[in-house]
C-alpha cells in the first residue's frame, strides 16, 4: 500500500517539530524544505536517526529543492517571519504574504493534487493568499489556528479547575488574533457547563489570556514564537485528513454564506476527512456571539484589503 507523502515548507521550530510528530504517528514519509539547506538537512538527519529508536520505518528528507515535494498528498506551509516581542500577527502581513505566494506557486507546479494546511501568520489572511495563488478548490486549502487556540483555552481551564485537560471540551471561532471568538457557554468540563464551575470574572480572564496566548510565549522567549502546540495542532488536522477520520475541528476555511460571511477564510468548525474540508458545521449563536464573530470578520476583511502583493 502506498504511503502518504507529506511536505513541510519551512524547517524552523514549527516545521521540524511538526515533522517529529508526523513521524511518531506514522502518518507518512516527510520532506522538510527550507532555504537554509544545511540546517534542514541536519534536522532531517537527526529525525531520521531517531527512527532507529522507535518502530517507525518512514523516511524523511531535508532539502531546498522544490522538485522534492512532487506528488505530495499534503503540504504544510510554516515558512515566514515569526513575531518578535511587541509585534502583532498583523504586522507580518505584507512580508509573509509575499513569502506564502512564492511558496504556493511552487506547490501549484510540483504538487497540484495536494491538500494544503497554512500555518504562517497572520493566519486567516495567509490562508486567503495561498488559496488565491494556488487556485485549488477551497476544500483543499485551510489554515491551522482554531485547534491551537482551543487547546490553549482548554489548558487554562483545566489549570484553573485543577482537573484533567482530557475532560475539557471547548472550541474557538473567528480570526486567529485578538478578535478570536471564544464561547464559554459551549465549554464543558466532564459534561458540566463551564459557566456553572467558574465565575464570569474568572472565565473572562481565561478568555483574555487565550487571546494573548501566543504573545505571552513570544514575550517569554524573546527571539521566537510558540512551536510545540502549533506543530501538534497541525498534526491533528493532518491525521484527520490522511486517515479520513472526519473529526470536527476548528480551522480557517473559505466561507460561502456560512455564518453570514462570504469570500473570507475564517475559523469555524469543520469536518476534516479524505476530501479535506468536507463540511462546515453551523450552529445558532446568541446575539452577542454573532456580534463578536462579525467583528472578527471585519478585522480579517480589513487586513485583506490592506494586502500588498
Residues in contact with 33: Cβ distance below 8 Å, sequence separation at least 6, in sequence order:
7, 8, 9, 10, 11, 40, 62, 63, 64, 65, 66, 68, 69
- Tell me if 5 sits within 8 A of 25, measured CB to CB: no
Torsion (CA) 297, 264, 9, 25 in degrees, nearest 10? 80
Rounded to 10 deg, the angle between the 146-161 and 228-242 helix axes is 120
pLDDT of residue 58: 84
Class of residue 283 by CB neighbours under 10 A (exposed 0-12, middle 13-18, buried 19+): exposed
Judged by DSSP in three states, 222 sits in coil
pLDDT of residue 89: 61
pLDDT of residue 65: 98
Q: Which domains are delineated in the chain?
A: 5-143 (3.40.50.720), 146-305 (3.90.110.10)
Class of residue 297 by CB neighbours under 10 A (exposed 0-12, middle 13-18, buried 19+): buried
pLDDT in tens, the chain (309 residues): 689 999 999 999 999 999 999 999 999 999 999 999 999 999 999 999 998 887 777 899 999 999 999 999 999 999 998 766 776 666 778 899 999 999 999 999 999 999 999 999 999 999 999 999 999 999 999 999 999 999 999 999 999 999 999 999 999 999 998 899 999 999 999 999 999 999 999 999 999 999 999 999 999 998 888 999 999 999 999 999 999 999 999 999 999 999 999 999 999 999 999 999 999 999 999 999 999 999 999 999 999 998 876
pLDDT of residue 222: 87
Q: Is 176 a catalytic residue?
A: yes
DSSP state of 141: E
pLDDT of residue 151: 97
Per annotation, catalytic residue among 20, 139, 176, 188:
176
Amino acid at each position: 500500500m502506498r504511503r502518504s507523502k507529506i511536505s513541510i515548507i519551512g524547517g524552523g521550530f514549527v516545521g521540524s517539530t511538526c515533522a517529529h510528530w508526523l513521524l511518531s504517528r506514522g502518518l507518512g514519509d516527510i520532506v522538510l524544505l527550507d532555504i537554509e539547506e544545511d540546517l534542514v538537512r541536519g534536522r532531517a538527519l537527526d529525525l531520521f536517526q531517531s527512527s532507529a529508536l522507535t518502530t517507525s520505518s518512514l523516511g524523511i528528507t531535508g532539502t531546498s529543492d522544490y522538485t522534492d515535494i512532487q506528488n505530495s498528498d499534503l503540504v504544510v506551509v510554516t515558512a515566514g517571519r515569526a513575531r518578535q516581542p511587541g509585534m502583532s500577527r498583523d504586522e507580518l502581513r505584507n512580508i509573509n504574504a509575499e513569502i506564502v505566494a512564492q511558496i504556493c506557486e511552487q506547490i501549484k507546479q510540483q504538487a497540484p493534487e495536494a491538500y494544503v494546511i497554512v500555518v504562517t501568520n497572520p493566519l486567516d489572511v495567509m490562508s486567503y493568499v495561498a488559496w488565491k495563488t494556488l487556485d485549488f478548490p477551497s476544500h483543499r486549502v485551510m489554515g491551522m489556528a482554531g485547534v491551537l487556540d482551543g487547546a490553549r483555552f482548554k489548558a487554562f481551564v483545566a489549570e484553573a479547575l485543577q482537573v484533567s485537560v482530557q475532560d475539557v471540551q471547548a472550541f474557538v471561532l473567528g480570526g486567529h488574533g485578538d478578535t478570536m471568538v471564544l464561547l464559554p457557554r459551549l465549554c464543558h468540563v466532564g459534561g458540566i457547563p463551564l459557566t456553572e464551575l467558574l465565575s464570569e470574572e474568572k472565565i473572562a480572564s481565561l478568555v483574555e489570556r487565550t487571546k494573548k496566548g501566543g504573545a505571552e510565549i513570544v514575550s517569554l522567549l524573546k527571539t521566537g514564537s510558540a512551536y510545540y502546540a502549533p506543530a501538534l495542532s497541525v498534526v491533528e488536522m493532518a491525521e484527520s485528513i490522511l486517515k479520513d477520520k472526519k473529526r470536527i475541528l476548528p480551522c480557517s476555511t473559505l466561507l460561502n454564506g456560512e455564518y453570514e460571511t462570504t469570500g473570507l477564510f475564517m475559523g469555524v468548525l469543520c469536518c476534516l476527512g479524505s476530501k479535506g474540508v468536507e463540511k462546515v458545521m453551523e450552529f445558532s449563536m446568541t446575539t452577542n456571539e454573532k456580534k463578536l464573530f462579525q467583528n472578527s470578520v471585519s478585522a480579517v476583511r480589513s487586513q485583506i484589503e490592506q494586502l500588498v502583493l
